[in-house]
A and B are shown apart, each in its own frame.
Chain A
Amino acid sequence: MAWIVWSAAAGIVAMTTSNPFYLVVLIAAAAVVHSSHRRPGPSSRSFRIFLLGGLGAIVLRTALVVFGTVDAENAAAAALEGSRLAALLVVFGTFNSVADPFGVLRLAPRRLHEPALAAALALSIAPRTIAAVARVRQAQELRGIRIGRLRSLTALAVPVLETGMEEAMTLAESMDSRGHGRGRRSRYRPERWEVASGATAIVSGVCTVAFAAALLAGRGGLAPSTFPLRWPDVSPLLVVAAAGFALPGFLPAGRAA
């Protein structure tokens, strides 16, 4: 599953730097991947939702400055932290949009099955909730309930939570009935690891190594100085490395997954 490698690598890169000139390239690369590989259905909306969440993170983090000393340096430091979080959220949203979290489960070694199940459930919460919200709102609209009021929020929350609970139970039951957790899983549809997957994984790895090397060498302006506030260095090589995460977007769709 090349998407796991891709998103883990992109997430690591997002964590190594708070330089906005790299982060914005990474986000753009994620947008390319999303727009060429998003799966049909409501889960592809998770990209936009996480993008908005990322913007919200930047705004919120910057707004929190008012509780401390308000000056350009503190505001810039907060905005940079926020943008790093935003990049992480966008990477996660892209993963949700292009990959099937339960597909991850199939790949886990049998010994690691239970942690993998927990991880898959956690990973899939966002897309499942988004899908559930979409369904509930549609049902409410059909019944003439006006959306957008504060009161309709409770009317929305309860069925969404209920759906989430129900889905988790259904999943657990279905997995139980298929012999999960008892050591007799069948793999009747093994994952195929194709050229595109390999290229995605390798390029992601190389790009991450470039950032890790820059981090260890203390070069490339990965952590821009905000005290004093200064324009960060930008290495063209690292810009290319960040753009490299867009590569799977140019490979044939449906293969890399």
Chain B
Amino acid sequence: MSQLTRARRLLAGALVAGALAIPIASAPAPACAAALEHAALVVDTGSAVTTYCVALPDGSVSGIGLIRLAADQYGLEYRLGYGGAAVCQLAGVGPADGDCFGGFPDYWGYWRGDGKGGWTWSNVGAADTTVGAGDVDGWAWGSGDDGGTHPRPPRTSFGDVCADSSPSPSAVPTSSGSGGTGGGPPLGGAAAPVSDSRSPRGEPSSKGSGKGSGAGAPTGSTAGVVLRTEGGGTAAPSTVLAAARGTTSGPPLGALWSLAAVGLLLGAAGVQRHRRRGDPP
């Protein structure tokens, strides 16, 4: 009897070990970046277009999952609402109060690449779409109820964002790459700001410098920022970079204020209660 249970335990242990081993084994080694699959994400805030070549560790994700991956890999700042199913904020643009349509008629429109550089309006929420390798997802801030009226991101094909996924990751820094404000070594492929004067809006000239291999971030993945000139725009791409470093953990300083106030008030309540108990009713 005890042997049987022991054998069972062994078997269970082997199963658990196997289950643990499988994901480890299937996880791509960081060295061979070619094995990693990528999807492109285009974020158009109206004043700046940012592209991200997002690595897909699990092969495919939802549209929301792609944003989360871009946040992990590049520090894209985002905020979701409605139980994590809707996009409120991307790159700091959009309502901050959890009501994703608080900025109506402006909101984040969800576009899907048609494989030829163009866009089709998604009739499905981003939580229910499937983004696989080679797909292009686009988000554009603006008004309009459907694909006919809502602004769309500039024409972008997968190859524009993820420079031909040749086996050797393109370590070619872009011309004006030196991105002074960025400087975040934890950031893997740092975004390389490219001024629009050089490349009109159609061509996202982003070959983010995958300079060497950033710690943690998959090699060969890139993010690029294209600024639009339409508004005389000098929108700083540094917002994207700053966001990456701004994700601190730990309670804010104001929490101490809050706790101090609660302590004081509860103390006062206790004193009042004590005093009243002393009084004759």
**Among the listed stretches A104-112, A113-121, A230-238, which one makes contact with chain B, having 4 or more residues with CB under 8 Å of it?**
A230-238
In angstroms, Cα B84 to Cα A215, docked, is 22
In angstroms, Cα B80 to Cα A223, docked, is 12
Tell me which of B95, B270, B281 contacts A40 (CB under 8 A): B281
Tell me which of B98, B250, B257, B265 contacts A225 (CB under 8 A): B98
In angstroms, Cα B96 to Cα A28, docked, is 27
The minimal Cβ–Cβ distance linking A18 to chain B, given in whole angstroms, is: 8
In angstroms, Cα B254 to Cα A22, docked, is 10
* A228-B71, A234-B257, A249-B272 given; A28·B98 CB < 8 A: no
- Asked whether B254 lies within 8 Å of A243 as measured between CB atoms, the reply is no
In angstroms, Cα B273 to Cα A250, docked, is 12
Q: Is A14 located at the chain interface by the 8 A CB criterion?
A: no
In angstroms, Cα B165 to Cα A175, docked, is 83
Q: Is A99 located at the chain interface by the 8 A CB criterion?
A: no
Tell me which of B95, B269, B272 contacts A218 (CB under 8 A): B95
Q: Which residues of A have CB within 8 Å of B273?
A: 35-36
In angstroms, Cα B98 to Cα A119, docked, is 32
B236-257 residues with Cβ-Cβ distance < 8 A to A are 247, 249-255, 257
In angstroms, Cα B265 to Cα A24, docked, is 10
- Asked whether A25 lies within 8 Å of B261 as measured between CB atoms, the reply is yes
Q: Across the two chains, which residue of chain B brings its CB closest to A253? A: B276
The minimal Cβ–Cβ distance linking A33 to chain B, given in whole angstroms, is: 9
* A28-B262, A232-B252, A242-B261 given; A77·B269 CB < 8 A: no
- Asked whether A243 lies within 8 Å of B276 as measured between CB atoms, the reply is no
In angstroms, Cα B184 to Cα A147, docked, is 66
* A218-B96, A222-B97, A223-B97 given; A233·B254 CB < 8 A: yes
Q: Is B268 located at the chain interface by the 8 A CB criterion?
A: yes
B119-154 residues with Cβ-Cβ distance < 8 A to A are none
The minimal Cβ–Cβ distance linking B164 to chain A, given in whole angstroms, is: 32
Q: Is A32 located at the chain interface by the 8 A CB criterion?
A: yes
Q: Across the two chains, which residue of chain B brings its CB closest to A27? A: B262
The minimal Cβ–Cβ distance linking A66 to chain B, given in whole angstroms, is: 14
Q: Across the two chains, which residue of chain A brings its CB closest to B260? A: A239
Q: Which residues of A have CB within 8 Å of B247?
A: 230
* A25-B262, A32-B268, A227-B80 given; A234·B96 CB < 8 A: no
In angstroms, Cα B253 to Cα A234, docked, is 7
In angstroms, Cα B82 to Cα A73, docked, is 11
Q: Is B180 located at the chain interface by the 8 A CB criterion?
A: no
Q: Which residues of B have CB within 8 Å of A221?
A: 252, 254
Which residues of A come within 8 Å of B, CB atoms?
Answer: 18, 21-22, 24-25, 28-29, 31-32, 34-36, 40, 68-69, 73-74, 77, 215, 218, 221-223, 225-228, 230-236, 239-240, 242-243, 246, 249-250, 253
9 contacts between A and B (CB under 8 A): A25-B262, A32-B269, A34-B269, A35-B276, A36-B269, A218-B97, A225-B98, A234-B252, A249-B268
